[in-house]
Chain A
Amino acid sequence: MDFPMLSVLILVPVLAALVVMVLPADRTELHLPVALVLSLLPVGLAGILFARFESAAGFQFVEQAALIERWGISWHLGIDGIALPLILLTTILIPISIAASTSIAKSPQLFLAMVLLLEAGLIGVFSALDLIVFFVFFEAILIPMYFIIGIWGSENRIYAAIKFFLYTAFGSALMLAGIIALSVLQQQKTGFASFDYSDLLTLELTPGTQAWLFAVFGIAFAIKVPMFPVHTWLPDAHVQAPTAGSVLLAGVMLKLGTYGFLRFNLPLFPDAAVKYAPVVATLAVIGIVYGAAVAIVQTDLKKLVAYSSVSHLGFIMLGIVAFTQSGLDGGVIQMVNHGITTGALFLLVGMLYERRHTKLIADFGGLQKTMPVFAGVFLFSTFASIGLPGLNGFVGEFLVLVGSYATRPAFAIIATAGVVLAAIYLLWAYERVFTGEPDKPENVNVADLNLRETLIFVPLIILILTLGLYPKVLLDRIEPSTAAIIDRIEATTDFVEPTFVIGEPGE
């Protein structure tokens, strides 16, 4: 067996968390730098994964060891072109979140440990190929995030944390039932129990069973995404969460939902996926337009960014259920792009909050004059989020739109309206926060970005430009895996992906 890269990648943050916890409590100046340096180790490891990854279908860096043989549970890890970008994203956002957490005063050690444990859970969830292992990581992530919001959040943190927890726990209960049901079915079919993803893929489920299981998994993931109408935990969680919490919540955790759809709902229940795709697409499009419309009138800057996430995640879902190559590719790359861009916006809002102790748009005004560099970075991230071509957001959005137009033109056209709305809510917010004269006295002397803060944005800006202009660096790795999903759907249902040959009329 090869070197267990993925297990090591999960273990390193756990060990890092332990190291941070055993640091002397009174040496506060050590806590954050140590955590930051340790959190760079996974970045390096993920870099090795990226470099060694072969652009081909199938799982790589696979490792498998039986855990509970009788029940068919095994430590089965492996990544494909869908998991790889998300693991990269996770490892990159963790040190950034840590670097942005200097204002955490209450037990910083515990906080940093929680962030690192969260990282372990996230990497675990994206590399698990056993459904029980997946589920355990899926649930384990809730715990650190629950504490991050509940302990280090703002005034209403307890309400938000409990709401977040109950909402997702409800989905989890459904999903666990679905997982167990799958394995029971597996046992009935083959005579041996298994929770292994590759075993479960070979099950030929009846359409009726598929429908039930699709719904069960679907609800759990839809809550995570979150899709309309189960999205209301998100604005509350974001508004109350500390900056690092928001960055990781929006940046990575929401993708558990979209990732789950791609990893489980489509390949395991293709028949139901085809049948219920219009329902999912409808909710996705509602989310795009509704999230954007609600974002326009938000008075709290953080809530505005939160609702913009509802809109952007709608694009991802629309792409996923398009069942076309560009739709799925766009969905996956949009997961990464949204993580980077929205991460940047949450960091900026957090830094603004640290300076002014308010997130209300009406409390600001004229800040471009007092903090020009900050305003520049904000505007850059804003345009990335709006989907300005040349920056990352456009690539995912455009692929999703073109990809979904091929199978669902009406949905794609309505979704395109989100492009207009995004410009409205973000530029209007920018106008109110940054332009004009700083007429409120407390806005006259606001410090601009310091060196540490500027350095936080450098990798994000580089990523925004790189993925905007040369997305092939990811697309080449994503494509074989998404193609495999479409192949599977085509092989098991009567769905046929429309193909476009140059010079011949389309449909």
Chain B
Amino acid sequence: MDFLADYLWLIIALPLAGAVALHFGGKFLPEPLPGLVAVGAIGTAFLIAAAAFVPLATGEAEAHILMLWDWMPGIGAAFEIRWDQLSALMTLIVTGVGTLIHIYSIGYMHGDPRFSRFFTYLNLFAASMLTLVLANNYAMMFVGWELVGLCSYLLISFWFTRPSAAAAGKKAFVVNRIGDFAFIVGLMLVFTQFGSLSMSETVLSHPGEVLSPGTATAIAILFLIGAAGKSAQIPLYVWLPDAMEGPTPVSALIHAATMVTAGVYLIARNAAIFELSPVALPIVATVGAATALVAALIAVGQNDIKKVLAYSTVSQLGYMFLAVGSAGYVAGVFHLMTHAFFKALLFLGAGSVIHGMHEEQDMRKMGGLRTAMPITHATMLVATLAIAGIFPFAGFFSKDEILASVFANGGYYLVLWGVGLFTAFLTAYYMTRQYIMVFWGKPRWVEGLKPHESSLWMTVPLMVLAVLSAGAGFLNTPQLLTLEHYLEPVFEALHPAHLESELPRILGMDGLAFGLAIVSLGVAVIGIATAGFVYARSSERFRQWFANATRRPMNASENAFWVDKFYGKTIVLPGKKLAQGLASFDSFFVDGAVNGVAGVVQRIGMSLKPLQSGFVRSYGATFVAGVIGLVIFFLTRGGL
């Protein structure tokens, strides 16, 4: 362990080295070698992380900090790695799911002219994300925070010749920057309060002795806004659906499993600050619940296979915010993990479908694919059941735990619990709708299309993820609470009251917890049954009637409630007009004043023409005379 602890930097350095090597040498390697290099880099990082994780999990080792180098010593910015239960778990998710998606990409990106460049970016992303989660210093975390944004930008606009892809990449970066604005201000506040940016000297070292509730609220809200940008929460979620312009493995890795969960991680990591504020956590929970609901409502009306999953991701991230906002940090992290498995699987499955359908993404032109793509179908079914929250798949446990945590807070949180429950119904509904539209019914394929199952590069990762989506829930069953105990060292210091009194009461088998689990399971079953009836089992006449009856709400949902249009009209356009106005002001007014003065001087000069010789000498003389005049003026008026 001691040996490994000093080499934890390799977890970041390996994928970074892979990216650098591929950047300069990748184009000389034939397919699939660049992919294998990238897989090797991140795979080795996973193995190192796993080896270093074992002593943490068994309790042999404690949290460990590895100082790398001083960055900006004056403000306590440094590169230092924190290896504790939370960062180790995040590292395993990032490198584990990351490795699977890297492997999948070898099949998915086959034949792309920029094959090796794609893996350069994937490896760079992995290194950036690991920088983010392993940081023991806010400044280093911000490096990772921004670099994942950069990789997101590069990968969304990977097919840069498509104007929509280029625009989507830019939109993602700019919207994230709005969140970063708040994050940076939050960091300034942290530094002026604590005199450091190192986490072990700030948030993880009795922040209650330093922060007043007001300041804690300010920092928490600023961090929340930053988190809302990265994790696509209201009102900054609009970039994530557009991000689907990127290749599908990117959607799975960055925009479902890892990067977008950074906001949840940020809040969980800073829970000690959020808890010092009387209002921060309820605000987080409210934002989460609202986002979960709105995004689920939009997902119901989407016809693009990836757009359904994109809004679903926004919604599930809202769920995670709801969890941490209810002080259910373990539940939030638990759902982060299970979601990483089943949502990555859904995206990769969708990618397999798109691949097999020759780049078709419209579910209305799919149907009946279960026989043509049996592996994709079976794995997607597992993922659908997992996200819907059906026992014993992974999503059931994590979602149930979130709802229980929300419920445990009582009072206002009961409303949020209701919202969460309704969202669970919607989730089961729209996922079943998608599953049926893609895999069941009669084929509605474009004529002449012959769908095919994908290569092993793609299906093997699907199968591995399917196993994880089916079984990961048992990592934290209400009886064993394995994950809860594992994460205890991270959260116990922050919120002892919660762990000691409420959680056992709620999660213990005192009847209420069991009842809550039955309710959420029942809601999921109703959602599946409803969608099953509407899209598969009902008569043609009923379907006609249903389509008519729901035309208006479905239209609103399909158009995502016109939020993008609204932002365009209220922010983008006025902003552009303002900038244009300032530019005109600059050339006509500010510069005009200067030219005007020059014009007046010139006119005076013309009238005095006889006096001027036009030679530099006389200009010089005037200059000297002016200076002397000024000196005299200053010395007499200067109050000597």
Our pick among A174, A406, A500 for the contact of B630 (Cβ within 8 Å) is A174
Closest-CB distance, B521 to chain A (whole angstroms): 44
B568 proximal to A (CB < 8 A) = no
User: Are A297 and B580 within 8 A (Cβ)?
Assistant: yes
Identify which of residues 122-155 in chain B touch chain A, using a CB-to-CB cut-off of 8 Å.
Answer: 139, 142-143, 145-147, 150, 153
B5 proximal to A (CB < 8 A) = no
In the bound complex, what is the Cα–Cα distance between A413 and B414 (angstroms)?
37
In the bound complex, what is the Cα–Cα distance between A416 and B187 (angstroms)?
12
Our pick among B147, B195, B211, B594 for the contact of A388 (Cβ within 8 Å) is B147
User: Are A325 and B74 within 8 A (Cβ)?
Assistant: yes
Residues in B whose Cβ lies below 8 Å from that of A472: 70-73
Our pick among B69, B161, B196, B209 for the contact of A435 (Cβ within 8 Å) is B161
User: Are A435 and B626 within 8 A (Cβ)?
Assistant: no
B503 proximal to A (CB < 8 A) = no
Our pick among B157, B178, B194, B640 for the contact of A503 (Cβ within 8 Å) is B194
A209-B192 contact, Cβ under 8 Å, with A417-B181, A419-B180: no
In the complex, residue of chain A having the shortest beta-carbon distance to the beta carbon of B147: A390
In the bound complex, what is the Cα–Cα distance between A479 and B188 (angstroms)?
20
Total A residues in contact with B, Cβ cutoff 8 Å: 83
In the complex, residue of chain A having the shortest beta-carbon distance to the beta carbon of B207: A503
In the complex, residue of chain B having the shortest beta-carbon distance to the beta carbon of A298: B583
Residues in A whose Cβ lies below 8 Å from that of B365: none
User: Are B576 and A505 within 8 A (Cβ)?
Assistant: no
In the complex, residue of chain A having the shortest beta-carbon distance to the beta carbon of B159: A435
In the bound complex, what is the Cα–Cα distance between A401 and B166 (angstroms)?
31
Our pick among A181, A231, A389 for the contact of B147 (Cβ within 8 Å) is A389
User: Are A504 and B75 within 8 A (Cβ)?
Assistant: no
User: Are B579 and A294 within 8 A (Cβ)?
Assistant: yes
User: Are B631 and A505 within 8 A (Cβ)?
Assistant: no
User: Are A428 and B71 within 8 A (Cβ)?
Assistant: no
Residues in A whose Cβ lies below 8 Å from that of B165: 435
B440 proximal to A (CB < 8 A) = no
Our pick among A177, A436, A506 for the contact of B627 (Cβ within 8 Å) is A177
A326 proximal to B (CB < 8 A) = yes
Our pick among B173, B591, B598 for the contact of A423 (Cβ within 8 Å) is B173
Residues in B whose Cβ lies below 8 Å from that of A366: 161
User: Are B630 and A502 within 8 A (Cβ)?
Assistant: no
User: Are B147 and A506 within 8 A (Cβ)?
Assistant: no
Residues in B whose Cβ lies below 8 Å from that of A192: none
User: Are B583 and A500 within 8 A (Cβ)?
Assistant: no
Closest-CB distance, B451 to chain A (whole angstroms): 29
Contact with B along A151-174 (1 / 0, CB 8 A): 000000000000100110100011
User: Are A213 and B634 within 8 A (Cβ)?
Assistant: yes
User: Are A173 and B193 within 8 A (Cβ)?
Assistant: no
Our pick among A395, A401, A420, A427 for the contact of B170 (Cβ within 8 Å) is A427
In the bound complex, what is the Cα–Cα distance between A469 and B71 (angstroms)?
7
Closest-CB distance, A173 to chain B (whole angstroms): 5
B67 proximal to A (CB < 8 A) = no
Residues in B whose Cβ lies below 8 Å from that of A442: none
10 closest residue pairs by CB, A with B: A208-B639, A500-B195, A435-B166, A177-B630, A232-B591, A405-B188, A389-B143, A506-B192, A435-B160, A296-B579
Q: List 8 A-B contacts (CB under 8 A).
A: A163-B594, A181-B634, A290-B582, A297-B576, A298-B583, A325-B74, A390-B146, A402-B192
Report which A residues bind B (CB closer than 8 A).
163, 166-167, 169, 173-174, 176-178, 180-181, 184-185, 188, 206, 208-209, 212-213, 216, 228-229, 231-233, 290, 293-294, 296-298, 325-326, 329, 366, 368-369, 383, 388-390, 394-395, 398-399, 401-403, 405-406, 409, 412-413, 416-417, 419-420, 423-424, 427-428, 430-431, 434-437, 469-472, 475, 479, 498-507
Report which B residues bind A (CB closer than 8 A).
69-77, 139, 142-143, 145-147, 150, 153, 157, 160-163, 165-167, 170, 173-174, 177-178, 180-181, 184-185, 187-189, 191-196, 201, 205, 209-212, 576, 578-580, 582-583, 586-587, 590-591, 594, 598, 623, 626-628, 630-631, 633-635, 637-640
Beyond contacts A176-B627, A423-B173: 7 other A-B pairs, Cβ-Cβ < 8 A, are A169-B623, A188-B640, A231-B590, A326-B72, A402-B191, A405-B185, A419-B181
